[in-house]
Structure 1
Amino acid sequence: MTIQTPNKTLTLASGTRYAYFHYPGSKQTLLFLHGFPSTSHDWRFQIAYFRSRGYGIVAPDLLGYGGSSKPLNPEAYLGSIMSADIISILDHEGITGPVIGIAHDWGTYLLSQLACRYPSRFSKFVFLSEPYGPPGRAMDVHRINKTTKRQMGFEQFGYWLFFSEDGAGKTIGQNKESFLSLVYAENPSIWKTSFAPVDGMRQWLATGSHTHLAPYITEEDEEHHYKAFGNDYSGPVMWYKRGIRSLGSEEEKEMLATGEIKNGGRIGKETLMITGLKDVVCTSARARLTMKSNVETGKLKVVDLDAGHWIMLEKAEQTNSVLEKFIEEGVGVKSVL
Structure 2
Amino acid sequence: MDPTRYKQLKTQRGFNYSYYWSPPAPGKPVIFFAHGFPAGSFLWRKQVPFFEPLGYGILVPDFLGYGATDKPTDPKVYIGSGYARDVVEILDAEGIKKVISIGHDWGIYLVSRLINYHPERVAACAFLAGGYGPPVAKGTDRASRYEAMKKMYGYDAFAYMRFFVQPDAPAIIEEHIDSFISLVYPEKVQLWKDHLCVDGGARAYIENNTQSPLPSYMTPEEKEHLKKALLAGGMTAPLCWYRAALEEVTIEDDAQISPEATQVKQPLLFVAFTGDILALPIIGDSIHAQYVKGPVTRKEIGGDHWGAESHAEELNGILLEWIQGLDS
Deviations 1:23-75 (A, max 9, x none): 00111000000010111111011111110100000001111111111000001
Distance verdict in 2 for CA 1:151–1:77, change over 3 Å:
closer
Greater displacement, 284-293 / 146-155: 146-155
The equivalent residue for 2:125 is: 125
Aligned partners of 1:277 and 1:305 also within 8 Å: yes
Cα distance change on mapping 1:119 and 1:103 into 2, 3 Å:
same
What's the secondary structure of 2:257's corresponding residue? helix
Change (3 A) 1:141 1:212: farther
For the residue of structure 1 that corresponds to 2:113, the secondary structure is helix
Q: How does 1:129-278 map to 2 (within 5 A)?
A: 129-138=129-138, 141-230=142-231, 232-256=234-258, 263=260, 265-278=262-275
1:285 aligned to 2:287?
no
1:213 Cα shift? 1.6
Q: Per the alignment, in what secondary structure is the counterpart of residue 230 of structure 1?
A: helix
3-state SS of the aligned residue for 2:191?
helix
Q: Unmatched 5+ residue regions in structure 2?
A: none
**Shift in Å at residue 147 of structure 1?**
3.0
1:24 corresponds in structure 2 to 23
Alignment match, 2:87: 86
Instruction: Give the direction of change, closer, same or farther, for the CA distance of 1:206–1:6 in structure 2 (3 Å limit).
Output: farther
Corresponding residue SS for 1:267: coil
> Aligned equivalents of 1:54 and 1:3: distance in 2?
16
Deviates more, 1:237-246 or 1:115-124: 237-246
Q: 3-state DSSP class of the match of 1:35?
A: coil
Q: CA deviation at 1:140?
A: 5.2
Q: What is the aligned partner in structure 2 of residue 335 from structure 1?
A: none
Deviation at 1:176, TM superposition (A): 0.7
User: What residue in structure 2 maps to residue 317 of structure 1?
Assistant: 313
Once the two structures are superposed, residues 122-176 of structure 1 have per-residue CA deviations (whole angstroms, 9 ceiling, x without a partner) of 1100011122111243575533442344444420111111111112122111111
Q: Which residue is equivalent to 1:115? A: 115
Mapped partners of 1:317, 1:141: distance in 2: 38
In structure 2, the partner of 1:50 is 51
Cα distance in 2 for partners of 1:196, 1:63 equals 26
- 1:299–1:331 contact (8 Å) kept in structure 2: no
Q: Which amino acid aligns with 1:179?
A: F
Which residue matches 1:62? 63
Counterpart in 2 of 1:75? 76
Q: What is the one-letter code of the residue matched to 1:127? A: F
| Matched AA of 1:158 | A
Does structure 1 conserve the Cα–Cα contact (< 8 Å) formed by 2:182 and 2:212? yes
TM-score w.r.t. structure 1 length? 0.90
Distance in 1, Cα, partners of 2:285 & 2:32:
23
Report the TM-score, using the length of structure 2 for normalisation.
Answer: 0.93
**In 1, are the aligned partners of 2:65 and 2:238 still within 8 Å (CA)?**
yes
Contact kept, 8 Å, 2:84 with 2:114, in 1: the verdict is yes
Structure 2 distance, partners of 1:278, 1:5, is 36
Cα distance in 1 between the residues matched to 2:142 and 2:221:
35
- Say whether the 8 Å CA contact 2:5–2:22 is kept in structure 1: no
Residues 331 and 211 of structure 1, relative CA distance in 2, 3 Å threshold: farther
Q: Describe the SS at the equivalent of 1:45.
A: coil
Structure 1 residue runs without a partner (length 5+): 333-337
Cα distance, 1:3 vs. partner? 7.5
- Between Structure 1 and Structure 2, how many residues are aligned? 324
* Aligned partner letter, 1:295: V
- Give 1:291 deviation, angstroms: 2.0
- 1:9 corresponds in structure 2 to 8
Give, in whole Å, the separation in 2 of the partners of 1:186 and 1:141.
32
- 8 Å contact from structure 1 (residues 3, 224) kept in 2: no
Once the two structures are superposed, what CA deviation does each residue of 1:293-317 show, in whole Å capped at 9, x if it has no partner? Answer: 2211x51122111110011101101
Q: 1:44 to 1:293 in 2, by over 3 A?
A: same
Structure 1 residue runs of 4+, over 4 Å off? Answer: 2-6, 138-141
1:294 aligned to 291, 294, 302, which one? 291
Residue 45 of structure 2 aligns to a residue in which SS? helix
Of the structure 1 ranges 276-285 and 298-307, higher mean CA displacement relative to structure 2 is found in: 298-307
How has the CA–CA distance of structure 1 residues 331 and 295 changed in structure 2, closer, same or farther, with 3 Å as cutoff? Answer: farther
* Aligned-partner SS, 2:101: strand
